[in-house]
Amino acid sequence: MLLVARKNLFSERTRLAISVGGLALSVFLIGILLSLFRGWSQQVGGFVEHVPADLWVASDGTTDFLAASSALPDALGGKLKFVPEIDVVSPIIVRPMELYKSGDDPNDTFDVQLVGFDPVVGLGGPIEIVSGKKAPGPGEVIIDEETRRRYDVNIGDRIVKGTKSLAVSGIASGGDFIYTQVAFVTIDTAIDFVNLEPKTLRTFILLTLDDPDDRDNLAHRLDVATPGAKYVAPEDFADETRSRILGNILPILIVVLVVAFIVGLSVAGLTIYTATVEKSREYGILKAEGFTNLFLYRVVFEQSLVTGILGFLLGAALTVLVAPFAQDSVPQFVVFVRWQDILGVAGVTLLMALIAAYIPIRRIASIDPVTVFKG
């Protein structure tokens, strides 16, 4: 680093602290928001992606798992069993519900996405059991560990809707959708619990195939052969589910990211600009002494760059340190810190440093060295 740049930067410790602090705050905000976005993306699409099905069957017009407006006749499942390329057919019932823990205030409800599946087939059931029974029996429910953590519902408790209740017999993981969690019951329990009419309706049908590579071809043929039903790949269905939640949040997230960028840029830009204006005469002296504009630009750029690096290191450290604490305190604050994102934030910080140096550099270019001979 050039002597003048280093000395200018570190001789004004307060200004440096403000500059680095502003950039660190910006980096922290950008880092934490990106991690939050990654965490949510991973979480809300996770269940659909991890169900070991090759195809999801839904009624036409259904876009994702959470809307669950799909309604298919059980008879369709019966027909699909006769398709030679299909190995397993597993109809499931999915309903969003508000429940409360028995013994609590009935107004203290929480959301679950109730999934009725066939425990014998297993497809559409819990991704991984954390404790308790591996499959629910009649009148039993396996809840997600996030439901247990947030609402203090444990094995042995009953969860209630109206006059009906379910006994919690197990805890599973991998079914958290941030604002709701999946709860698993048998298909017969689901029919009874949600008062399904007609009782032969199913929400989705899950299929596994003999040859998963033939999936797209088969989906196309079945689309044509069974009007009213659509056949979707799990990854597409997961993406649509993510879009439902994140699509609404993303514009807000982008606005906050832009604000964070502007805050960082403004703080760094203003402090570097004022430092340059304050040192205008000294830059004039250097020009008079024969230093080229390029050398002086380097001085400003190096100051900006070092400020950026310090701000980035502090901000990135804050992100990595604060994220786990925030996640523990606020269950919805699901973050996933990726090194690729941290690298991206480093790039953004470099951009901020470059832009922050631009106006001061223009100012230096306009300094007339003759002025140093005045007074």
Residue closer to another protein (CB basis): 3 or 224: 3
The set of residues, in sequence order, having a beta carbon less than 8 Å from that of 65 and lying 6+ positions away, is: 47, 48, 94, 113, 204, 237, 238, 240, 241
Residue closer to another protein (CB basis): 114 or 299: 299
Query: Nearest distance from residue 13's CB to another protein, in Å?
Result: 12
Query: Nearest distance from residue 275's CB to another protein, in Å?
Result: 10
350-360: b or e for each residue (b if 16 or more CB lie within 10 Å)? eebbeebbbeb
Query: Nearest distance from residue 326's CB to another protein, in Å?
Result: 40
Residue closer to another protein (CB basis): 197 or 368: 368
d(CA 303, CA 125): 58
Per DSSP, the three-state class of 165 is strand
Residues near another protein (CB under 8 A) are: 3-4, 7-8, 11, 281-282, 285-293, 295, 369-370, 372-375
Q: Output the CA–CA distances (angstroms, integers) from residue 52 to 18, 173, 213, 279, in the order listed.
A: 52, 15, 15, 66
Query: Nearest distance from residue 369's CB to another protein, in Å?
Result: 5
Contact 47, 177 (CB under 8 A): yes
Residue closer to another protein (CB basis): 197 or 374: 374
d(CA 247, CA 261): 21
Query: Nearest distance from residue 307's CB to another protein, in Å?
Result: 16
Contact 92, 205 (CB under 8 A): yes
Residue closer to another protein (CB basis): 339 or 373: 373
d(CA 128, CA 52): 12
Query: Nearest distance from residue 273's CB to another protein, in Å?
Result: 17
Residue closer to another protein (CB basis): 120 or 294: 294
